[in-house]
Amino acid sequence: MPAFPTAAREAVGNKTLRANLRHATHTIRDKRARAVAELDDWDQLREAGKRIKDETLRHLDRHLIQLEESVTAAGGTVHWAADADEANRIVTALVKATGETEVVKVKSMATQEIGLNEALEAEGIHAYETDLAELIVQLGKDRPSHILVPAIHRNRGEIREIFAREMSEWGRPAPDGLTDTPAELAEAARLHLREKFLRAKVGVSGANFMVAETGTMVVVESEGNGRMCLTLPETLISVVGIEKIVPTWRDLEVFLQTLPRSSTAERMNPYTSMWTGPSQEDGPSTFHLVLLDNGRTDTLADEVGRQALRCIRCSACLNVCPVYERAGGHAYGSVYPGPIGAILSPQLRGTQSEIDASLPYASSLCGACYEVCPVAIDIPEVLVHLRERVVQGGEVTRHGTRVTLRPAKGHAAERAAMRAAGWAFGRPGALRAGQRLASGTRRFHPRTLPGPGRAWSATRDLPKVPAEPFRDWWRRTNGGRAEKGDKK
Amino acid sequence: MRVALFLTCVNDTLYPDTGRAVVKLLTRLGVDVDFPMAQTCCGQAHYNTGYRHQAEPLARHFSDVFGSDEYDAIVTPSGSCGAMVRELYPRMGERARSEGRGDGLATTLAPVVPKTYELTEFLVDILGVTDVGAYYPHTVTYHPTCHGLRSLGLGDRPTRLLQAVKGLELRALPGADECCGFGGTFAMKNSDVSSAMGTDKVRNAESTGADTLCAADNSCLMHIGGTLTRLKSGVRPVHIAEILASTEEDPLS
């Protein structure tokens, strides 16, 4: 993946993409604002959600052990995966043990994070995404670009085209003469998917929440496809990040109010599925839970950055972010795009790669993301914290060990400029000399700048340097008191 | 009341007219204004770009310059530099403490934090005025800059002040709470996205038909203004201090 600015440049130049994104994000952000305004205790809910998550994270080890005990007591099996490879190996082995070569999937960013579909494919197992937007992405051989609406970058015409071209490759073809009306597109997807639901013996899911006290998994969704995936197969394998845990059922009350309103602007989501272990009468008779770490414990060790683990994946921050709106989700080079992705990905993956080192800068620090976050993640604070890591290096935890990072490459000139500015600002005399030099040479200032400044002057005019900086005026006129009289 | 003007390095160097307007306005309102000559920069650019350790000496310097008891308040015509002092200085002190460096930084910075006010905040909350006796016979649209809006929570203070200006017609800016795309070094590091945001802000401002775009932060106005002139727009970017300082006897030219 190229660094964010390069990837974003392409998106900014794509008019269709920008129009799709603008329309979708503005529609949903306005709806969200109305849905949130209905609750007069929103601020208390937000504070409660933040507190529950923080306290849970503080004692995460204890809650996870309780969860393992509860799931096991309910007849499920718990697996611990330290990283993506281990998680993929576990799931692949579990599917192979059933003798099946097809799985249906729903609601799992965690499996995208670890690249499970590709790992299964390598072992001859086909994984079918069944969330409508995920289906569009998979059929289009595309990547998701939004947490909640992975196909947000596509319009109806593009979706019709993808369905007509690709569905037959994967199963039931799209009906002849398919148009781009939402009802027809939904019906085509419904028929295509229904065939897969009825055939599938193995389901793979994620979970929005895991309740430690009872070992209950919770999935909230809008389409009912999740319910199909969670109830029709004989074996259900859920891959869930360890931060998705809440201690008690009572804690869910807060999130079942804040999540739907923040994400889809609904008072309540249409489907909330909860299951506790397998069932011999109805639903899957075998249940496996794969608890995924993959950088989460390392993130927890960072006292500023750990708040990113409060995230409940509502995507409200994406929908208000002016940078996301123009750059699109793909530019973030991660399954988690937008402001939350910009702080989560470089923590889960480290800041070594070019894309990860560029993500903390993919923000103007306008603060709109923090304002809408239902668990009050101070995203700008974490962005600045990660910028520090990129330019200065420092101590971080990787794979459970404290290591010292070196500063990322490509910041030497900036570091020198910051140091020079720091030096001048430490000496008022030097600042004044610099200002006078700038004023004295103002007639010779170029209209366009060299070096990093070129990026500025390509689209914006520079301000004209005034003939006299303020401090000289103040001194000359004694703070304006002598202005109308003789010049001193 | 004796006030220290924290003009900010950007205004001092590039927008001295804003500083002169603040002096004129506050003096008219009976405030004794001083400009401590040793002031330089609050350290925001360093801090926000990831150079927190290099921002620390600048914050200490700020406290040395402005921490004096002789000032009742520190007033700045910049929402983002005001937010740096009020919101981020305490955080810097806290971080130094958590890094095992003791309370030194927090103690040094503490005196300036509660005394620092953004200009419109100072006028409305401390001086208790909304009609400052200004005259500006123009149509104006107001852009609430992000740090003023979200970090300082300026709310409707700036628009209340503008509405009381004689001759001024205020027009609502569509998408007012959306960032203009400046964001300090963001404007250079992510220039394409920044420019796209700036262009949208300019188009929104033009759609109001106003002849003036007003804001309480010259950094954002520099970005918007640079875009306005490049797009050959007739809208004029003006800092709110210059409108509030403008009177019938001595109008803003």
In order of their start, the domains of chain B are 2-126 (1.20.1050), 139-245 (3.40.50)
- ipTM exceeding the 0.95 mark: yes
Please give, rounded to a whole number of angstroms, the shortest distance from the CA of B18 to a CA of chain A: 9
**Least CB-CB distance to A469: which of B13, B34, B230?**
B13
Percent of chain A with pLDDT over 70: 99
Average pLDDT estimate for A66-87: 98
Band of residue A488 on the pLDDT scale cut at 50, 70, 90: very low
Q: What is the pLDDT of residues A207-257, one digit of tens each?
A: 999 999 999 999 999 999 999 999 999 999 999 999 999 999 999 999 999
Quick check: A447 and A464 in contact, CB under 8 A?
A: no
Instruction: Note whether A470 contacts B20, CB cutoff 8 Å.
Output: yes
A8–B41 CB contact, under 8 Å = no
Do you know the residue count of chain A?
Answer: 488
A220/A402 Cα distance (integer angstroms):
37
Q: How many CA atoms lie within 13 A of A289 on its CB side?
A: 33
Q: How far apart are CA A127 and CA A120, in angstroms?
A: 7
Instruction: Please tell me which residue of chain A has the smallest CA distance to B202.
Output: A460
CA atoms within 13 A on the CB side of B162: 28
With a CB cutoff of 8 Å and minimum separation 6, the contacts of B31 are B1, B2, B3, B127
User: Is residue A484 over pLDDT 80?
Assistant: no
Residue matched to tokens 């006292």: A303
The alpha-carbon gap from A10 to the nearest alpha carbon of chain B, in Å, equals 9
Q: Can you tell me the distance from the alpha carbon of A331 to that of A8, in angstroms, rounded to the nearest whole number? A: 5
Return the residue of A nearest to B4 by Cα: A479
Would the pTM count as exceeding 0.80? yes
Mutate to test the interface with B, among A21, A405, A411, A459 (most CBs of B within 10 A): A459
pLDDT band at A486 (very low <50, low <70, confident <90, very high): very low
pLDDT of residue A264: 94
Mutate to test the interface with B, among A386, A445, A460 (most CBs of B within 10 A): A460
Q: List the 279-338 stretch of A: residues with Cβ below 8 A of B.
A: 303-304, 322-323, 326-327
> What local confidence, expressed as pLDDT, does residue A436 receive?
86
Helices (H), chain B: 9-14, 16-28, 44-49, 52-66, 79-83, 89-98, 104-109, 119-121, 146, 157-163, 186-189, 191-207, 218-230, 240-245
Instruction: Out of B52, B151, B192, name the one closest to residue A8 (CB).
Output: B192
Residue numbers in A near B24 (CB within 8 A): 480
Query: Residues B175-207: pLDDT tens digits?
Result: 999 999 999 999 999 999 999 999 999 999 999
10 Å CB burial of residue B252 (0-12, 13-18, 19+) is middle
Amino acid at B209: G
* Contact flag B50-A455 (C-beta cutoff 8 Å): no
Q: From A419, which residue of chain B is nearest by alpha-carbon distance?
A: B54
CA-based nearest residue in chain B for residue A327: B193
Q: Which residues contact A340 (CB under 8 A, 6 or more apart)?
A: A147, A308, A311, A313, A315, A317, A318, A369, A377, A379
The residue to which tokens 């269709």 are assigned: A16
Asked whether the predicted pLDDT for residue B90 surpasses 70, the reply is: yes
Name chain A contacts of B58, Cβ cutoff 8 Å. 422, 425-426
CB B67: neighbour CB atoms within 10 A?
Answer: 17
B222 contacts on A by Cβ (under 8 Å): 463
Nearest to B191 among A370, A389, A455 (CB): A455
For chain B, how many residues are written?
Answer: 253
A426 has a chain B CB within 8 A of its CB: yes
Residue A390 above 70 pLDDT? yes
How far is it, in rounded angstroms, from Cα B227 to Cα B199?
7
Token readout for A397 is: 């935890």
- Taking the Cβ of residue A462 and every Cβ of chain B, the question of whether any pair is shorter than 8 Å is answered with yes
pLDDT band at A138 (very low <50, low <70, confident <90, very high): very high
Q: Which of A4, A9, A425 to mutate to test the interface with B (most CBs of B within 10 A)?
A: A425
